[in-house]
Every structure is written in structure tokens, then in C-alpha cells.
Amino acid sequence: MIGRSLRRSLGDLPVAWLQLKRQPIRYLVAVTGIGFAALLMFMQLGFQSGLLTSATTFYQALITDLVVISPGTRDSGAFQQFPQSQLYQSLGVPGVSDVIPVYVANVNAQQMGGIKPTSLRLIGFDPNQQILDLAPVREQIDRIRTPGYVLFDAAGNSNTGPVAAAVKDQGSQTMILSDYSKTFRVVGLFRLGSTFAADSNLISSDTTALQLAYKQINEGEISMGLIRVTDPAAITSVQRHLRALYGSQLQVFTKPELIANEQNYWNTSSSFGIIFGFGTIMGLLVGGVIVYQVLYTDVSDHLHEYATLKALGFRNRFLLILVLQEASILAVSSFVPALVASAALYAFLTAVSGIQIVMTTDKTLLVFSLTIGVCAVAAAIALNKLRDADPASVF
């Protein structure tokens, strides 16, 4: 309906495209500028989603119904410990079938003989329990029963050096804490991905975790507690009972709540979310200014022609649609190369950083909508100039 109306207004002659095509350098500059702005938006949104994905990958992989953490824990990069005994209190709540203490700490380590230390998130738990929905961890869980043996995250970033490759090619590798106090042996690999706080992850038994992260965690003080319920339908009521039990001493989340809480922290409380959000807006503004400049100059340059067209009997609507069509052509022809370039950059950054930055339909549609939107707004502002096209000025 709208398409037919547009066609009737402008006829079949693609005047907007012909006008843009007539000045290829200006068109190319405009497409490059708007495309760069779209690329900027893609990058900011990519970083933002990468941050949120990396921050919650660990939580996503947890096999649990409820999670208990200290109120002092703001995000998954810095856990506050709380007494393990508090977790076991929950076993008295009807519907709770099982509780699993988990230690999470950050350690710096390097390969034996290596120079550059890498920051690692160490996740320790009882190897008699399966807490992560990761096939390689399930299959290799017995290997970490031996104290000092760990599994290494091969999806970490490039700062981790050749550890994963060496384990894959030559078998287990020895690493040493960067304060040279303890060594440990990497006996298998899994894939989880790095975070903004850690280059990679280690999975160990609770015993090994207490040995390696002795400066941060103590026996009897855990980072998080996983709680499983007998009836999945009763999760909410068990959570209610646990909240009543713990009051302000501990936070009790369902798994989706824990993920949402983490994302909310990074999006609103941390400076990262604000910076990336601001970057997206900056990209939007840059794109808008470029489109406005291009269209304003274009309308100014064609003002005499537009006045002539008005004199010949064309209505204002024809010219309005013409300018909006130019804006749309600029938006679409800038967006496509920006999308391709962004997808390539995402792949490159994922490979280098270990943070999963993925081109999704959501992101594509969002940036496309923003690009079209900002072009339309810029066109609407530039349309004011059309008022200067006075048909009486042609004589």
C-alpha cells in the first residue's frame, strides 16, 4: 500500500537514486561516513553483548535450581565468601534435595618456563558432583580428583599463550602461580570463554581450589552455594522459604534471576554498560550528523531544480518523498557493508579476546532500525531547506 503510494508519487523514474548516482564521490563519502557510524554502533553493541555473554556464561552452564550468594557479591568477577554452614542450613527447608558448595577465586599463573602470567578464574567444587552442563567437564571430572590437577579453558583469550595448544598436542602441562608458591597440572581442556576480569578459567576439585587460592578463600567459607530441589515446580516456594530463612544474610536467586542480576549490574551499575551505551549513542549521532550534512548539501545544491519542479506542477510531497528516498538509499547502502565489516571484526575480536561477540538477528535489526531512523530524522531536519525552493524564483 505504502509502496504503491510512493511509486504513484514519484512515478517509475528513480530520481532519488539518479541524483545520488550523479555525484559518485559525494555518494561514496556519505556511504563511508554513515557506514562507519553503523560500524561504530555494531562494535559498541558487540562489546556490550560480549561483556554480558562472557559475564554470564558460567552461570548459564550451572546445573542448579537455586543459587545462594553473599549480599556483598556484586558480580561474577569478585565473589564475597560466606560460611559454608549457612548453605547447609537450607537442607532443613522442605523441598531441598541437595546443596553443593562452590569456590570461585581469581589466580594469576603461567606455564612452567613461561614469562607472562595470565589471570584465571578458578572454579572449585566436589568432583563427586556435576555442577556444569559442559560435556568435556562431565567426561573428565575424574581427572581432577587428584590434588593439584585442573581442567583448562581452551576458549580463553590470547593472553593465555600456548597452554591449550600444548595440552592438546603434548598432553598435560604444568603451570605455576605467578608468585611461584605452587604448581598445578593441566590435565584436560574444556570451553567456557574468557571474561572481562579473567583471561580464562580453571576447573578443579574443592581441595585443589583451597590449595591454589589460599590467599583468597578459606576452608569453610564458600563463594556460592547451589541448591537443587526435589520438585522443579516447587522452586519458587523453596526460594521463598530460603529467603525467609536467610533474611539479609544471603541472596537467593533462581538461575534466570542470577543471570538477570549479573546483566543488570554490568548494564547499569558498572561503568562498562554506560560506556558502551554512550558509544552506541555517539555512533548514532555521528551517523545522524553525516546524513544531515549530505542531505542538506544535496537539497541546497538542487534547490533551483526543486523550485523548477514546483513551477512545473510538482507538489511539495514529491520533493519530500524524494529527499526521504535519498535518505533511505543512503541508509541501506551504508548498512550492508557495515554489517559485513562488523561480522568480520566480531570474528576477529572473538578469536583474539576469547569473548564471544556474535552477530545476531537482534543486533542486525537494531542497528538497521537505528540507521534508518537516524537517516529519517536527519532527512526531516534537512527538509526545512526545501521551503527555500520558491517556484517564483525560477524567472
Partner 1 sequence: MQPVVAENLRHAYGEGPLRSEILHGISFSVNPGEITLLVGPSGSGKSTLLTLVGALRSVQEGSLQVLGSEVRRSSERSRVEIRRRIGFIFQSHNLVASLTSLQNVALVLQLSEPDPRRRLHRATALLEAVGLGHRLDYFPSELSGGQRQRVAIARALAPEPDLVLADEPTASLDSSSGQEVVALLGDLCRKRGSSVLLVTHDLRLLDDADRIWAIEDGRVEPWKGSH
Applying CB under 8 A, which residues contact partner 1? 10-13, 15, 18-19, 21-22, 304-305, 308-309, 311-315, 391-392, 394-395
Nearer of residues 163 and 309 to partner 1, judged by Cβ: 309
Q: Is 126 helix (H, G, I), strand (E, B) or coil?
A: coil
Rounded to a whole number of angstroms, the minimum distance from the CB of residue 321 to partner 1 is: 12
**Total Cβ atoms within 10 A of residue 172:** 14
Length of the chain equals 395
Rounded to a whole number of angstroms, the minimum distance from the CB of residue 52 to partner 1 is: 47
Pull the grid cell for residue 295: 542531505
From the list 131, 132, 109, the residue with the least C-alpha distance to 119 is 109
Nearer of residues 21 and 215 to partner 1, judged by Cβ: 21
Nearer of residues 316 and 360 to partner 1, judged by Cβ: 316
Nearer of residues 115 and 312 to partner 1, judged by Cβ: 312
Nearer of residues 92 and 387 to partner 1, judged by Cβ: 387
Rounded to a whole number of angstroms, the minimum distance from the CB of residue 24 to partner 1 is: 11
Nearer of residues 85 and 300 to partner 1, judged by Cβ: 300
Rounded to a whole number of angstroms, the minimum distance from the CB of residue 323 to partner 1 is: 14
Rounded to a whole number of angstroms, the minimum distance from the CB of residue 14 to partner 1 is: 10
Rounded to a whole number of angstroms, the minimum distance from the CB of residue 284 to partner 1 is: 30
Rounded to a whole number of angstroms, the minimum distance from the CB of residue 309 to partner 1 is: 8
* DSSP class per residue in 66-109: EEEE-TT--BTTBPPPEEHHHHHHGGGSTTEEEEEEEEEEEEEE
Pull the grid cell for residue 100: 553443593
Rounded to a whole number of angstroms, the minimum distance from the CB of residue 374 to partner 1 is: 25
Pull the grid cell for residue 212: 591454589
Nearer of residues 126 and 390 to partner 1, judged by Cβ: 390
Rounded to a whole number of angstroms, the minimum distance from the CB of residue 376 to partner 1 is: 22
Are 323 and 19 in contact, with CB atoms under 8 Å apart?
A: no
Nearer of residues 15 and 63 to partner 1, judged by Cβ: 15
Pull the grid cell for residue 130: 556435576
Nearer of residues 181 and 393 to partner 1, judged by Cβ: 393
Distance in angstroms (rounded) separating the CA atoms of residues 327 and 321: 10
Distance in angstroms (rounded) separating the CA atoms of residues 204 and 147: 8
From the list 365, 373, 294, 366, the residue with the least C-alpha distance to 326 is 294
Pull the grid cell for residue 267: 548494564
Q: Name the phi and psi angles at 162, rounded to 5.
A: -90, 20
Sign for the pseudo-dihedral over CA of 290, 295, 301, 303 = negative
Distance in angstroms (rounded) separating the CA atoms of residues 279 and 282: 5
* Element at 123 (helix H, strand E): strand 118-125
From the list 112, 115, 122, 206, the residue with the least C-alpha distance to 156 is 122
Query: Which residue carries 547502502 as its cell?
Result: 333
Nearer of residues 13 and 115 to partner 1, judged by Cβ: 13
Return the bridge partners of 184, or none.
175
* DSSP class per residue in 129-171: S--B--HHHHHHGGGGGSTTEEEEETTS-GGGTTHHHHHHHHS
Rounded to a whole number of angstroms, the minimum distance from the CB of residue 300 to partner 1 is: 14
